[in-house]
Chains A and B, each alone.
Chain A
């Protein structure tokens, strides 16, 4: 047991980062699950990383806004490519996403053969450490999340095709740099999976509750048990997903019993 890490000023920024990621990823995750393209986040993250490596390959400065733009542009291009493949070969979308993932990942390795400094960015982009989050990262991400959420709400009836892939690419590029690919995957998939079968606002509310509980529990546990925060949150998210699912099943069962009682 270790109580010294349990300070709001240490865990607070990380918690805020988690909430921002959840805000866009919970609704996007439901789309991802419905389409059965769950590895799309890995593919888009790798394509964004490839964009950063390419930008450096052509001599762009490694700090600053240029790299962010390169990552977002590459992710959008990846999103556009996937929109096209989705139209052309809808039955093969998942294997195509997998192929794009390995091509982007290994393409990075080939380019990095001569540019080792890109490897640090690649790692940052993929592993991203939630505890290192700083306020200026959060401001940018908060603005982007607000815009994405507004577009999602405004276009909620037409959240398909190019718009979905573009929103998704931008959301993933920002969140992967903030919290890393494992947490992004868990934030997308776990709340959506745990609430499968529900719908509408009710599903969103339950999914958000599971996500928030997972992040808070993970951060507190990582402080108390002195374990890496990102990995811990993935496990508490999954735990909260299972508990949420069990509670839903219990309620569903009660309702069944009540309905059966009324029938008699």
Chain B
């Protein structure tokens, strides 16, 4: 029995020593790390597309993964403020608590909707801007460049490989952006209603106009007055879709769809959000296909 344990321990120890370990807070960064790192990295993803990343349940394995990580990659802009600080504190791993081992995607880009004043009455706002920027392919590319540089800096043995993979990813990604933009041209100027305010980057990229939200103040349930005006607005301004993420409760969107006849669309929102969104390319393919399907 003891022998078995020793063997297991050795096995685990060699596995740990072999690969550069990364903890990704969200699936989109896990997918990006796979593009940039391939077999050089051992990637653990903390959340799934079917979870609300603002809040997660504490599991012992999460702490263990952060404890072993050489690098953590998260969206930042306070998206994970409810759990990441505790997770890092509890893991007690100085490598990822700050400095180069602590990579926030939001530090690599400019965020939208950065409030000019911090007014509590506006809801659960993020003072550092809207953190749901994974649906803007240009921002994803900017994050990819910074992340590849960070990987090369920390895992010097594979530095050349990270740069090579970044060049390859960036060529494929830019070609894909062109294809997506051509395909999504009919969406330009169309109006949408959203559930949570998490689609601004996608809307801005594709030229869609957001006319209202079911949850106008993030984290606060809507009032009946707001819903009544939203029904009128949705009908009168010819919105073509009500957008929601795979993890969100379908009831509010279905209710509005029933009241207005405008279809509610469940978009994957991140990698793993539906069958097609297996990687970053699939995520954008699926998102645009689903939007086009109701835009006709």
Contact = CB atoms under 8 A, between A and B. Distances in A.
A132 B220 contact: no
Contact of B124 (A119, A129, A226, A230): A119
B140 to A, nearest CB: 29
Given A10-B90, A132-B90, A134-B89, A116 B60 contact: no
Interface residues of B, number: 31
Contacts of A219: 60
Interface of B: 8, 12, 55, 57-65, 67-68, 82-83, 86-87, 89-90, 92, 120-121, 123-124, 217-221, 223
A216 B217 CA distance: 41
A251 interface: no
Contacts of A231: 57
A5 B82 contact: no
Interface in A215-229: 219, 222-223, 226-229
Contacts of B68: 4
A227 B121 CA distance: 36
B123 A228 contact: no
Interface of A: 2-7, 9-11, 13, 109, 112-117, 119-120, 123, 129-132, 134, 219, 222-223, 226-231
13 contacts: A2-B61, A116-B217, A116-B220, A117-B124, A119-B219, A129-B57, A129-B86, A130-B58, A131-B63, A132-B90, A223-B61, A229-B60, A230-B57
A115 B65 CA distance: 35
A116 B124 CA distance: 6
B115 to A, nearest CB: 14
Contacts of A11: 60
Contacts of B221: 109
A10 B64 contact: yes
A123 B58 contact: no
Given A112-B220, A115-B120, A117-B124, A4 B59 contact: no
